[in-house]
Amino acid sequence: KPLTVIGPVPLRKWLNAYKTVEAIEFEFVSNAKLGASAQWTGADPEKLLADTEAGRLGVKISTVEVKHSCKHACGVLVRAPPVPPLWQGWSVVYSGDTRPCEALVGLGEGATLLIHEATFENGLEADARHKQHSTTGEALEVGQRMHASRTLLTHFSQRYAKCPVLSQVSNPGVPQGEGNTPAEPSAMVAFDLMTLNLADLASLPSVLPAVEALSAQEDWIDYREDVE
């Protein structure tokens, strides 16, 4: 069965051109028909995805325009339904390249996992605004305002040899508990070739100290320099 591809219309033109080089079969769905503009186009997101694997599993996909200099930049929400008594359902939000975005916060309210770009370190807010990206602290704040259970930071600038040390970030992604005491940390940093099982989300922040220690080693820094 052809692969279902969801994205901006220009992507379909690129895929059609690529078909002349390699035989690929796909069904294309414009992400605009899965977002807020769907009400104006008369599109029915559930019908559009009904014949796809996501539709058969009851998974819903929604997109929203985000704040980035690149045209057609969008964030996406993937939401799976509950299957009692196995699980209560889950939702994953991916920001793509963006400044902190109210539309994304609203789309992902209560998300199980937010994957958000954190291109710039704290203190480089002016650069982040100029290039339409987010700082580490801004990304963590989006996760807090979204009430995401876990926030995974990614898309770090190659100018930094080390991963962000969240304990040194002014907004460490730690919501305040009762009595104004910090609750459990909810954030983690992504790294190359990382895979993540949603069943491991509860223990995800406990891995952070090991990742931060690893990134401080010379071998990690040499690897990043080789990539650059």
DSSP 136: H
Token representation of residue 190: 């992504």
Q: Which residues of the chain have pLDDT under 50?
A: 40, 172-183, 223-228
Cβ-based neighbours of 38, under 8 Å, separated by 6 or more: 32, 44, 45
CA distance 93 to 62: 10
pLDDT at position 223, please?
45
pLDDT computed for residue 220 by the predictor? 53
CB 113 within 8 A of CB 198: yes
Q: Which residue shows structure tokens 């200099």? A: 69
Q: Can you give the pLDDT at residue 39?
A: 52
pLDDT tens digits for range 63-119: 999 999 988 899 999 999 988 876 788 999 999 999 999 999 999 999 999 999 999
**What is the three-class DSSP state of 219?**
helix
Instruction: Note whether 46 and 68 are within 8 A (CB).
Output: no
Residue 131's pLDDT is 94
Per-residue model confidence (pLDDT) at position 180 = 40
Amino acid identity, residue 78? Answer: V
